[in-house]
Amino acid sequence: MTLPPPPTNSRPTQPRLADPGPANPVLRWVVELGPAYLVSLVILPWVIAYGVAWPWQPSTIDLQVYVYAVGDMLAGQDIYATTTPGWNLYFIYPPIAAVLMVPLAFGSYLFWQLVWTFLLVWAQQSVLKRCGVRRGWVLGLVGVAVVVAVEPIRTTLGYGQVNTLLMALVVADLLPDQPSGRSPAQRAGGTKRRIPQGTLIGLAAAIKLTPALFVVFAFLLGKRKLAWTGILSFVAFTALGAVFQWSQTWEFWFGLSGGNTRTASPLYAGNQSLLGVVYRLVGESTSITLLGLAVGGLVALLGTVVASQWWRAGEKVFAVALVGLCTCLASPLSWTHHYVWILPLGVAVVLGRRLPRWVRALGGAWVVWVCVCLPLAVLPYGGGRERDFDAIQQLVANLGPLLGMALVVGLGWQMLVAHRRRMVAAVH
């Protein structure tokens, strides 16, 4: 027996878990954020050393730095003299970061561990949905897999770092949100932009300099309004930090940003920048430092040019991910947990239909390598032990950045060949 079709004006009586929509925002948040958040809370004590499962005390040592720095700032002390007990870690961000983190001074540390973890999970899920992951249960389950399997995301959660939040700011500025309305009109309309495009990129760059590469990306795309808005936003937020922390702003721009970060050496195996590769393979000196920075800068510039071409070809997620990963390759210090940009690259190689097979294979290999994080899993590191690495250990320590450079150079070569073919075709 064939049932008659429902009337055209009928509406489902139950919310669709694949896309609960604004009619049921609570269910939508529970489905899309709840699973990843709960799993994060469960595994957090085991992510970083010395965490305790019960009573629940994860070792969120970077969040601890932020809390101590804010407390010292409000007490009139120098945020760059702040150190944390036990780990002896310093605050190394621009002053505007401390100013924006002032709420951390109010409420218990446990409260902020819970809130900060939620914000990081929200940022992760925001990136996933803007990259095209289907909303509802699919987004929720993918989020769980990411928390468990993607090392940069997992350790950013473990440390209580800011990496995923900064990535979410940039992605929100460049990629539209997936509308959650039920009707075709709601879906076609998308989400209205509440602040000028480029503002969030400028904010991210003011907190951590590397997202400034996206301003160059915007100029290459011909999006001058976006680029100039990003520059003005960066200047405004930096100036705001200077209003409250003038001497520290001066200290940052003429000290910390010049390389005096009071962190590990670029030689450290966990440093997955191209400068780190050069240090480990060639040696340590001023000239070698300049060589490594030049190599990283050239690769980043080439990658940004290539990314602009793929943006125009419609592979916007891939383009944004490539620029983000180029910031990691070019930065003097890129710890493994800085590679959160591997997340949109993973989505792009799975969902990108226009990407060549070799790009998806090489990009996918890079994603897997970063997720596994063998340099810190199997190698001895710290205390200069990297100087004694044999050939196999050097391969493990450096393969990630070399895969990234190979992808960028390969894409650049492909772009050049395509350009030459067009020139030849135009002549004939």
Percent of the chain with pLDDT over 90: 79
The answer for 2, left when phi > 0, alpha when psi is -120 to 50, beta otherwise, is beta
Q: How many CA atoms lie within 13 A of 352 on its CB side?
A: 27
- Residue-by-residue DSSP string for 124-165: HHHHHHHTTPPTTHHHHHHHHHHHHH-HHHHHHHHHT-SHHH
| pLDDT (mean) for 165-185 | 79
Contact predicate 252/373, CB 8 Å: no
Query: Whole-model pTM?
Result: 0.90
If one counts every other C-beta atom within 10 angstroms of the C-beta of residue 314, the result is 12
Q: Which has more confidence, 387 or 259?
A: 387
- Residue-by-residue DSSP string for 50-68: T-BTTTTB---HHHHHHHH
| pLDDT (mean) for 393-414 | 97
Which neighbouring-strand residues pair with 83?
Answer: 90
For residue 414, the 8-state DSSP code is H
- The token duo for 409 is 């150079």
If one counts every other C-beta atom within 10 angstroms of the C-beta of residue 161, the result is 24
- The token duo for 304 is 């940004």
Residue type, 120: L
pLDDT bucket at 177, cuts 50 / 70 / 90: confident
Percent of the chain with pLDDT over 70: 89
Q: Which pLDDT does position 174 carry in this prediction?
A: 97
Q: What are phi and psi of 44, to 5 degrees?
A: -55, -40
Residues in the chain: 428
Q: In 89-101, which positions are buried (b, 16+ CB within 10 angstroms) versus exposed (e)?
A: bbbbbbbbbbbbb
If one counts every other C-beta atom within 10 angstroms of the C-beta of residue 354, the result is 10
Contact predicate 215/230, CB 8 Å: yes
Radius of gyration of the chain (CA): 23
pLDDT bucket at 180, cuts 50 / 70 / 90: low
Q: Which of 211, 215, 218 is nearest to 93 (CA)?
A: 211
Q: Is the pLDDT of residue 235 over 50?
A: yes
pLDDT bucket at 194, cuts 50 / 70 / 90: confident
Contact predicate 290/311, CB 8 Å: no
Q: Which of 83, 20, 79 is nearest to 263 (CA)?
A: 83
Q: In 271-304, which positions are buried (b, 16+ CB within 10 angstroms) versus exposed (e)?
A: bbbbbbbbbbeeeeeeebbeebbebbeebbbbbb
Residue type, 9: N
